[in-house]
Amino acid sequence: AAHTAAKTPVTLLGLGAMGTALARTWLAAGHPLTVWNRTPARAEALAAEGAKVADSAAEAVAASPLVVVCLLDDASVGEVLDDTGLAGKDVANLTTTTPAQARARAAWATERGARYLDGGIMAVPPMIGVPGAGAYVFYSGSPELFERHRETLAVPAGTTFVGADAGFAALYDMALLGGMYGMFAGAAHAFALIRDEDIDPTALAPLLSEWIVAMCSSIPQTAERLRSGDYTTGVVSNLGMQVAGTPTFLATAEQQGISPELLSPFFALMRQRLEEGGRDEEDLTGVIDLLARTRG
């Protein structure tokens, strides 16, 4: 009891795959933990491990100063928190949402007298609580709240505070996951190309992953070019050369009998940039300007 007395009591709403993984880490670290889940059976194993199971979300919220929420989506967060007494509570919402939803939820919680942090989890459940696995959570919103609970929030995963704008954690989350899906799309295209050939996909895999890692070295350069506004790359892999190469990719896909649909939208933007006056000696940074046009 002396061991747990100093640890902040935590309430956790939502015991899906991620919520359950988070819960176990706070229990293991000696935090008094109260949990609630819509489907009560999902709390049984945690009860056996020492969690207190609340009969309602309201009872769970009342039990601890720090309320962590990890539900399916923003709508479920609204449903679950609606009938709870949030006044005076510190809420850390780790549910994946859009930045606009996070900002609206922060205002909603503030109106109810709570302090609010939004979180974007950069991990899958097996990485949670595993030292060295690289799991971390982007936080944004109240800096005071982040400082007050910094140690408790760091129990399941690393923490990275990205600003007082409550929408920023979700924005960073979506930016990184968007990059990840681009990578998955490229890898899917690569495997589809060789699929019907006498090529072992496990032989391609290390070559593909090493190539993608090597190409990641261009990401800091892109950031620098965006900041300076100078997209010039000179003779090295310039836009003109890359646009000239795109028919080769499309023809190869056709010859292999696969759809080029994962790559062709990007190629179309590269061509558009060149046709609209992007200079031959630019790199691909100008494509970002084309995407930003949809802001109107």
**Residue placing its CB nearer to ligand FVH in the complex, 39 or 202:** 39
CA atoms within 13 A of residue 200's CA, in its CB half-sphere: 3
Angle at 215 between CA 295 and CA 265, to 5 degrees: 40
For 175-205, give one letter per residue: b (16+ CB within 10 A) or e.
Answer: eeeeeeeeeeebbebbebbbeeeeeeeeebe
95 near ligand FVH, judged by CB under 6 A: yes
Q: Which stretch binds ligand FVH (CB under 6 A): 121-129, 151-159, 228-236, 266-274?
A: 121-129
By CB under 6 A, residue 156 contacts ligand FVH:
no
Q: Scan for tokens 């990485």, then name that residue.
A: 127
Judged by CB under 6 A, which stretch of 1-9, 14-22, 148-156, 235-243 contacts ligand FVH?
14-22
Q: Give the nearer residue to ligand FVH in terms of CB position, either 183 or 194.
A: 183
Single out the residue of 125, 163, 186, 240 in contact with ligand FVH (rule: CB under 6 A). Answer: 125
Residue closer to ligand FVH by CB (options 39, 217) is 39
> In whole angstroms, how far apart are CA 260 and each of 156, 193, 250, 270?
41, 10, 6, 15
CB 73 to ligand FVH: min, Å: 6
The residue to which tokens 């309201």 are assigned: 58
110 is a site residue for ligand FVH (CB under 6 A): no
CB of 57: closest distance to ligand FVH in angstroms?
Answer: 8
Give the sheet arrangement for strand 33-36, strand by strand: 52-53, 33-36, 10-13, 66-69, 90-93, 115-122, 136-141, 158-161
> From the CB of 158, what's the least distance to ligand FVH, in Å?
14
Phi and psi torsions of 42, nearest 5°: -70, -10
Nearer to ligand FVH, 33 or 284 (CB): 33
Residue with tokens 């649909």: 261
Site membership for ligand FVH, residue 219 (CB under 6 A): no
> Smallest gap, in angstroms, from Cβ of residue 95 to ligand FVH?
4
Question: How many CA atoms does the CB half-sphere of 37 hold within 13 Å?
Answer: 21
Ramachandran category for residue 36: left, alpha or beta (phi over 0 → left; psi -120 to 50 → alpha): beta
| Residue in 12, 35, 66, 80 binding ligand FVH, rule: CB under 6 A | 80
Distance CA 270, CA 278 (A): 9
Write down the least CB distance from residue 125 to ligand FVH, Å. Answer: 5
Q: How far is the CB of 97 from ligand FVH (least distance, A)?
A: 7
Binding residues for ligand FVH (CB under 6 A): 14-19, 37-39, 42, 70-73, 76, 79-80, 95-96, 121, 124-125
